[in-house]
Amino acid sequence: MSSSLNQPKAIITGASRGIGKATSLAFAQAGIDVALVSRSLDQLESVAQTAREQGVKAKAYEIDLSQLSEIPAKIQEIVADFDGVDIIVNNAGMGYTNLLRETSLSDWQRVIDLNLTSVFQCVQGVLPQMRDRSQGIIINVASIAATQPFAGWGAYCVSKAGLVSFSKVLAAEERSHGIRVVTILPGAVNTPIWDTETVQADFDRTAMLKPELVAQTILQAALLPAEAVMEEITILPSAGTL
């Protein structure tokens, strides 16, 4: 279904599963057109089809965010395809556990590249048109690991702390241009990140946040009137940090 010109439009990275998938569907239910970004095209297409059933425009874009130099141009192509975007949710990232002394330089760089530098590049892709329109909201999904040290999670903690700092500087630079920046700091969320080969952890996943709850928080931040911004939101499972 084609959307109206007044319908909000969002880019969501890491949209094939977990928080990204839940956010894509929550946005669609709220009447927001969604451009879905991930490396997993088949999974993305499934999410896009479900989103379209809500009556919004939803398209899948297969982009490898580890290919940093290609990101801004590809994001700009999405912006052009959607005739501008109002929101970007930078959710894509990876988990990684290892003691700092045992972390290889290549592993360190991989975590920093995906969790921090790819967000920088995505933002560079959307900022020109947001500035031209004097409006936009950039939502960066960090983690409580940005502010709390967890042994064995060094590279991950540093990447998320960097993302929080990046968000604060970006907000300071862009608020005069009508652009708002939100940082979401979830506690542990029950997503497929715990099943990846780079994460070795044994937690009670039933006590974690559900992706849908984090998605609702992201949606609320996105729908706040332009006169206000929730710059930093920490959301924890009621059982506390794991």
Give the active site residue among 75, 156, 171, 180: 156
Query: Residue 241: which pLDDT band, with cuts at 50, 70 and 90?
Result: low
- Helix, coil or strand: residue 60: strand
Tell me the per-residue pLDDT of 145-179, one tens digit each, with 9 for 90 and over: 899 898 988 999 999 999 999 999 999 999 999 99
Q: Select from 232, 210, 196 the least CA-distant residue to 26.
A: 210
Residue 76 has pLDDT above 90, yes or no: yes
Residue 83 has pLDDT above 80, yes or no: yes
Query: Residue 187: which pLDDT band, with cuts at 50, 70 and 90?
Result: confident
Residue 191 has pLDDT above 90, yes or no: no
Residues 6+ apart with CB under 8 A from 109: none
Residue 123: its pLDDT value, please? Answer: 98
Residue 106 has pLDDT above 90, yes or no: yes
Answer yes or no: 156 catalytic.
yes
Residue 214: count of CB within 10 angstroms of its CB: 24
* 120-135 mean pLDDT: 97
Higher-scoring residue by pLDDT: 162, 5: 162
Which DSSP letter does residue 17 get? S
Which range is least confidently modeled, 55-69, 125-139, 187-201? 187-201
Tell me the per-residue pLDDT of 204-222, one tens digit each, with 9 for 90 and over: 656 667 889 999 999 999 9
* 33-48 mean pLDDT: 96
Residue 2: its pLDDT value, please? Answer: 42
Sequence length of the chain is 242
Q: Which residue has 């702390």 as its token pair?
A: 161
Residue 3: its pLDDT value, please? Answer: 45
Structural domain boundaries of the chain? 9-235
Tell me whether residue 108 is exposed, middle or buried, using C-beta atoms within 10 angstroms of its C-beta: 0 to 12, 13 to 18, 19 or more: middle
Q: What are phi and psi of 94, to 5 degrees?
A: -135, 150
Residue 195 has pLDDT above 80, yes or no: no
Query: Residue 47: which pLDDT band, with cuts at 50, 70 and 90?
Result: very high
Q: Please tell me the distance from the alpha carbon of residue 108 to that of residue 115, in angstroms, as a whole number.
A: 11
Query: Residue 235: which pLDDT band, with cuts at 50, 70 and 90?
Result: confident
Question: Domain spanning 9-235: which CATH class is it, in words?
Answer: alpha beta
For the chain, what is the mean pLDDT? 90
Sheet with 136-141: list strands edge to edge: 58-62, 33-38, 9-13, 87-90, 136-141, 179-186, 232-235
